[in-house]
């Protein structure tokens, strides 16, 4: 896949956290995976027994049903203009294994699993 | 399947995004293959309550 040059004038990103990626240029392979447990508790006093562990929940060990890439697509690309012009990009947060890419990326494989809990006071 | 792509210009003036999160992708440019999967789970029993909290102003 022939590539184009990324011509970026201005990017403002407030925070890139929890293995987020900001990439300008070309990437061949991106494998993103994020797992999260979100506990919303009334009174918000967290103690030791509020801790939750990933392997206690089947959600995190479940098999993801990926789409079988059955048919082979042979794609030919012609770039008549060899640059990607970006004037201004403003983001507040790139977080939990996310990717902001300006340029080309051949393959992306991303998996996110979030389990939420809401605990109200009895 | 044969696919022919002709790219002329890709000019982005201004983009403003609050948050890209949980294995998401924000891409300006070319790509061959993206596969995204996400599991999201708020089971009823995870919502431990004793009395139903009224949503509206009472």
The number of residues in chain B equals 58
Q: Which residues of chain A have pLDDT under 50?
A: none
Q: Distance (Å, rounded) from C-alpha B24 to C-alpha B5?
A: 25
Contact A110 B16 (CB under 8 A): no
pLDDT for res A3: 86
- For chain A, the domains span 5-64+83-119
A22 neighbors A16 (Cβ within 8 angstroms): yes
B34 to each of A10, A88, A109, A110, how far by Cα in Å?
A: 26, 25, 6, 8
A122 neighbors A44 (Cβ within 8 angstroms): no
Instruction: Show residues of chain B in contact with A89, CB under 8 Å.
Output: 12, 14-17, 28
Q: Is the ipTM of this complex over 0.90?
A: no
pLDDT for res B53: 59
Q: Distance (Å, rounded) from C-alpha A76 to C-alpha A59?
A: 39
Of B21, B37, B47, the CB nearest to A111: B37
pLDDT for res B54: 59
Residue A112: Cβ-neighbour burial (10 angstroms; 0-12, 13-18, 19+): buried
Q: Distance (Å, rounded) from C-alpha A13 to C-alpha A99?
A: 12
Q: Could you say which DSSP state residue B54 is in?
A: P
DSSP line for B5-52: EEE--EEEEEEEEEEE-SS-EEEES-EEEEEEEEEEE--GGGEE-SSP
Of A74, A105, A120, the CB nearest to B31: A105
- Residue pLDDT, tens place only, B1-58: 899 999 999 999 999 999 999 999 999 999 988 999 999 887 666 565 555 555 666 5
């Amino acid at each position: 896949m022939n590539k184009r040059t990324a011509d970026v004038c201005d990017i403002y990103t407030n925070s890139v956290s929890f293995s987020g990626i900001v990439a300008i240029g070309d990437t061949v392979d991106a494998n993103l995976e994020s797992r999260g447990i979100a506990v919303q508790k009334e009174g918000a006093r967290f103690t030791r027994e509020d801790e939750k562990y990933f392997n206690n929940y089947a959600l995190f060990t479940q098999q993801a049903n990926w789409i079988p890439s059955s048919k082979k697509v042979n794609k030919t690309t012609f770039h008549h203009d060899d640059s990607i012009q970006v004037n201004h990009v403003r983001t507040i947060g790139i977080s939990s294994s996310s990717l902001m890419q300006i340029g080309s990326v051949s393959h992306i494989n991303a998996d996110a699993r979030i389990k939420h809990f809401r605990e109200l006071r009895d | 399947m044969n696919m022919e792509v002709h790219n002329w210009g890709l000019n982005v003036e201004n983009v403003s995004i609050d948050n890209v999160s949980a294995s998401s992708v924000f891409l300006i440019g070319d790509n061959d293959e993206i596969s995204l999967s996400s599991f999201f789970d708020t089971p009823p029993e995870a919502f431990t309550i004793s009395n139903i909290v009224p949503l509206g102003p009472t």
